[in-house]
Amino acid sequence: MATRRQFLGTMTSAGVALYAAPALARGYEEVELPTKSKIGVASTAMVMHLNGLGVAPAMRDDPVRYIEYLRSLGAGGVQHAIRKDLRQARAKLEELGMFYEGEAALPSHPDQDLSEFENSMLQAKELGANCVRAVSRQPPGGNRRYETFASLEDFRAWEAQANAVVEKVMPIVDRIGVGLALENHKDRTADEHLAVLQRYSSEHLGALIDPGNNMSLMETALETVTKLGPYAMANSMKDMGVAPYAEGFLLSEVRFGTGINDQKALFEIMRSHNPRINFVQEIITRDPLEIPVLTESYWKSLPGVSAERLAAFMANVREKASALPVVTGLSPQQKLQAEEDNNRNTFEWAIAQFGAA
């Protein structure tokens, strides 16, 4: 077991956190590590630090240092695709007492070679993961249903192909024995997502529930979690702030306890179905997303929502509107600091809600 002095010394030698942790920069040997929370962090909440923004070491290139950095913020676990230094990374996770969930890229087509996916699952198993996060790939350049598909027919064609990919990889998943947590990724509605999961009896297929994503599809976080809860395997917990704009509403990850969703209550619904599920936070530091629900194009691939439901959703947006964070205009260093501050604040919230790990 590394001492605090040894742990912080390794961070100094790598140049990690000097740009983002003023307290550590003052004197590594004098700084107490913060209390460890019971929650982990998704890689999407750390994308600025993983990439470095051209002004800091890219933590994506050094998984061990990345794990150490997350622990220095108070994280209790890691959800990330680790592809190198697997033994060292697992040893560091065990040394720091942190849980690990992997990530695996699903093929975009059922006829695609599956070796990359299989290797990702094997790497996750070697790292001690009980599950991996996976997303059904939309067409190149696409990430959100209402921006990607020009018609319901286009979406249904993609959906059939994406479901066929899940069917194709499940024998690999079952053989390796690491769970595949399929995320609701602004693609399928909760009902459509549920239909995929119900096609299989495998204990190794479940849902990665993102309470915020399906708000962009006019579902409340409570609706999404309640429907997908029986299949809960993993999560991307995020509190959401909203505000109206000319074409619909703005949707933004905000610090826990300041948005419109009760993160602890949502997690407890998941845990009632799966007592072993980890809490993984995904507060993404970025500008608000525009959800253009008042435009004709938004509805081309998403029919069936009544005018009454839209009116009620927008009324709730107006009632609960708040000022939303914006990162445009910040320097790279300021963006890195904002991301760190958001994540550190979330771990402090978790300790207040769930106690220390």
Query: Where are the extended beta strands (E) located within the chain?
Result: 40-42, 77-79, 99-103, 131-134, 179-183, 205-209, 232-235, 239-245, 248-254, 280-281, 289-291
Judge contact between 159 and 302, C-beta under 8 A.
Answer: no
| Structure-token pair, residue 174 | 């079952």
Q: What is the CATH number of domain 4-352?
A: 3.20.20.150
**CA 142 and chain centroid, separation:** 18
How far is Cα 330 from Cα 121, in angstroms, rounded to an integer?
A: 38
Task: Determine the residue type at 163.
Answer: N
0.85 exceeded by pTM: yes
- At residue 31, the pLDDT reads 56
User: For 205-261, what is each residue's pLDDT tens digit?
Assistant: 999 999 999 999 999 999 999 999 999 999 999 999 999 999 999 999 999 999 999
Strands (E), 74-191: 77-79, 99-103, 131-134, 179-183
170 token code pair = 């499940």
**Is 9 a residue whose pLDDT tops 70?**
no
Of residues 8 and 312, more confidently modeled:
312
5 band by pLDDT with thresholds 50, 70 and 90: very low
166-198 confidence digits (pLDDT tens): 999 999 999 999 999 999 999 999 999 999 999
φ/ψ of residue 55, rounded to 5: -125, 0
**CB of 256 closer than 8 Å to CB of 349:** yes
The mean predicted confidence, pLDDT, of the chain is 92
Which long-range CB contacts under 8 A does 314-319 form with residues at least 24 apart? Answer: 314/244, 314/248, 314/249, 316/242, 316/260, 317/242, 317/243, 317/244, 317/249, 318/244
Q: How far apart are CA 230 and CA 137, in angstroms?
A: 24
pLDDT recorded at residue 253: 98
- Mean pLDDT of the 286-308 span: 94
Task: Give 2-27 as a DSSP string.
Answer: --HHHHHHHHHHHTTTTTT-HHHHH-
Q: Which residue has the tokens 């299949």?
A: 231
What pLDDT is recorded for position 18? 39
The pLDDT tens digits of the residues spanning 89-104 come to 999 999 999 999 999 9
Strands 289-291 and 248-254: antiparallel
Neighbour count for residue 172 (Cβ, 10 Å): 18
Over range 41-58, report the average pLDDT: 96
115-146 pLDDT tens trace = 999 999 999 999 999 999 999 999 988 889 99
| Cα–Cα distance, 106 to 259 (Å, whole number) | 32
Helices 190-197 and 152-176, axial angle in degrees (round to 10): 40
Chain segment 55-71, per-residue pLDDT in tens: 999 999 999 999 999 99
Percent of the chain residues past pLDDT 90, beyond the cut: 87
More confident residue, 322 or 22: 322
Bridge-based pairing state of the strands 248-254 and 179-183: unpaired
Average pLDDT in the 297-304 region? 92
Give residue-wise pLDDT tens across range 320-341. Answer: 999 999 999 999 999 999 999 9
* pLDDT band with cut points at 50, 70 and 90 for residue 287: very high
Amino acid 49: pLDDT: 97
Amino acid type, 39? I
> How many residues comprise the chain?
357
